[in-house]
Structure 1
């Protein structure tokens, strides 16, 4: 991996990327409210399960397909996977999250003039831009290889989950870093799974998570938007 691509990957994976990821917990705050997550062990169990059962089996495989669709300049395929991803957002909060983050990253990419004219024209054709669509676009525009872009997304997702636990369980900073380090095998496995699944094997079936997300919409006190 060339130094320029590596630096671009670090920028896309950074928590300072202005897309608002820090304001979402993806159901984790509701799990903490219900005491399903209340210490380091339960935090790790929650994050690992969400990674293996949801992210690795749907969000990451969709990103993998979008990376290749953008790379091939296949506007129709980008639209297909964009529509499927949005259709799979089964609560209002989950849908609003990906649309807001996708819009923010797409606007940032436009302001920074990332990509060539053909890529920018394809992006402009998208009616609603989810976060995976915008992230795949930015990675291709910055010439970040697909496998590394996928790992970057997975690590960024895990880091955001850990930070939510550090702030809200709460866990100490050392515990947070210990937790993040311990997730390396699961992150590697998630990347491998995402690249191997056939289209008809993709699934985000997680009714418990969906129920927690719906409960979070009416939760009395909350820090996060999902």
Structure 2
């Protein structure tokens, strides 16, 4: 049996030291504003991000980085940085990507430089010859799982409620992974303006738990 699935789940595990637990992706501001307050509103928020927001664009960047010749990866990474809608969104992607690349170099000996997180994941999967469709699906599931964990710390949601949201979004993660198979930068779009605004507001939120 191939170890690709095990390797990929290790790379995207909460235990992989990218510090994902420290970021809420603007969700903390949305909760503070009353936009997310229970399982249903959390699921709706995440559905938008995965189907037409930042998680969708991450999937595009991941696939573009996977298929690109090595000299073109830097340009894709620059586009990913430019596509970040706020300072903290950029910081989130940059710092997680840097930590991911550092650990990848220490454990697998792969030197990717300093890349934003989705670009780094796509490039790592390419270098390790792991299926990009599977990589995208698990990346999206990890994205959802991390924000559900953040919501469980801020909303009276409970562990079961968080797991229900994750279970409900699995088909969407698979669907978006299929939609973005072989995606290029021309496939980029975003339509989650409220999430972007909340990420901007979070930068000046008076009291907060998360870095973004």
* Fold conserved between structures, TM > 0.5: yes
Larger radius of gyration: 1
Map of 1:65-76 to 2, 5 A cutoff?
Answer: 65-69=64-68, 74-76=69-71
Which residue matches 1:108? Answer: 103
Select which of 54, 62, 73 maps to 1:78. 73
Deviation of residue 144 (structure 1)? 1.8
2:115, 2:187 → 1: CA distance?
A: 24
Q: 2:25·2:89 contact (CA, 8 Å) conserved in 1?
A: yes
Number of matched residues?
212
User: Are 2:2 and 1:3 aligned?
Assistant: yes
Which residue matches 2:138? Answer: 152
Residues 196, 75 of structure 1: CA spacing in aligned structure 2 closer, same or farther, 3 A cutoff? closer
2:4, 2:184 → 1: CA distance?
A: 28
Residues 204, 114 of structure 1: CA spacing in aligned structure 2 closer, same or farther, 3 A cutoff? farther
Deviates more, 1:191-200 or 1:153-162: 191-200
Which residue matches 2:165? Answer: 179
2:2, 2:20 → 1: CA distance?
A: 26
User: Are 2:201 and 1:215 aligned?
Assistant: yes
Q: 1:19·1:101 contact (CA, 8 Å) conserved in 2?
A: yes
Structure 2 portions without partners, runs of 5+:
none
Which residue matches 1:204? Answer: 190
Q: 1:114·1:142 contact (CA, 8 Å) conserved in 2?
A: no
Q: 2:63·2:184 contact (CA, 8 Å) conserved in 1?
A: no
What RMSD over aligned residues (CA atoms) do the two structures have, in Å? Answer: 1.7
